[in-house]
Structure 1
Amino acid sequence: MIQFNHFNFNVLALDRSLEFYDKALGLTPAREKNASDGSFKLVYLTDGRTDFTLELTYLTDRTNPYNLGEMEYHLAFVTDEYDNFYKKHKEMDIICFENPSMGIYFIQDPDGYWIEIVPAK
């Protein structure tokens, strides 16, 4: 048997990212790991419902933003509160792309990662 465990985003400013994910999606830290030499910190965020986590990797000496390439990947969330999240994300001015014909939209985190919001069927 094999199953999904986590997905990783490298972040430039950990506190800013933690605030974003909490405010925008209600994700909270489930566990952390600090490098013994202080070179990095991993924070695993949970939705509180599933075992899947989003790993935020913070490299303590990193000062330049990450090059995300052409962004042909994204993380997706499904919600039964689509209209509420849409309104909140619109107010936060973090919606970066909408596809009304598919009934989805994307938000962008502080480091430029795209996150798809999908309504529950």
Structure 2
Amino acid sequence: MKFTFCHNNINVLDLEKSLKFYKDALGLEEVKRKEASDGSYILVFLGDGETNHKLELTWLKEWDRPYNLGDNEFHLAFRVDDYEGAYKHHKENGWICYENTKMNLYFLEDPDGYWIEILDKNRK
């Protein structure tokens, strides 16, 4: 028996704002969309164009408040081939919420407060 990653899901309050963030900050593109016939939800799957792994953004029509992320001890992680360039781009846009220079990594915060770890592709 073998399991492979398919996607991760996060719920978002403002779908358009989140789509813009994930495109501008990480280059993720929409690859699939499913909308409920009654308009109660929209699912948008984003891909990096390199792997089969997807990020599913779920928007719920009836949800009208920020999501409770608890202690926010979970996160997504991305490796980048140009760490310095990515850092500069993310810093200029004000997306960096935490840096650990000793470990050569930093985190972004998306519009809903989810954290995204950025790692140099050469980091062991």
- Which TM bucket (shorter chain)? over 0.9
Percent identity, aligned pairs only, is 54
Q: Which residue pairs with 1:62 in the alignment?
A: 63
List structure 1 segments (4+ residues) > 6 angstroms apart after TM superposition: none
TM-score of the aligned structures, taking structure 1 as reference length? 0.98
Q: CA deviation at 1:16?
A: 0.3
Q: List per-residue Cα deviations over 1:32-73 (Å, max 9, x = no partner).
A: 111122100000000011000000000012110101000110
- Structure 2: gaps (5+ residues): none
Q: Which residue pairs with 1:50 in the alignment?
A: 51
* Distance in 2, Cα, partners of 1:63 & 1:4: 31
1:71 pairs with 2:72:
yes
* Distance in 2, Cα, partners of 1:74 & 1:36: 31
* Distance in 1, Cα, partners of 2:45 & 2:82: 24
SS class of match (2:38): coil
* Distance in 2, Cα, partners of 1:17 & 1:27: 11
* Matched residues, number: 121
Q: Which residue pairs with 1:6 in the alignment?
A: 7
* Distance in 2, Cα, partners of 1:22 & 1:72: 24
- Structure 1: gaps (5+ residues): none
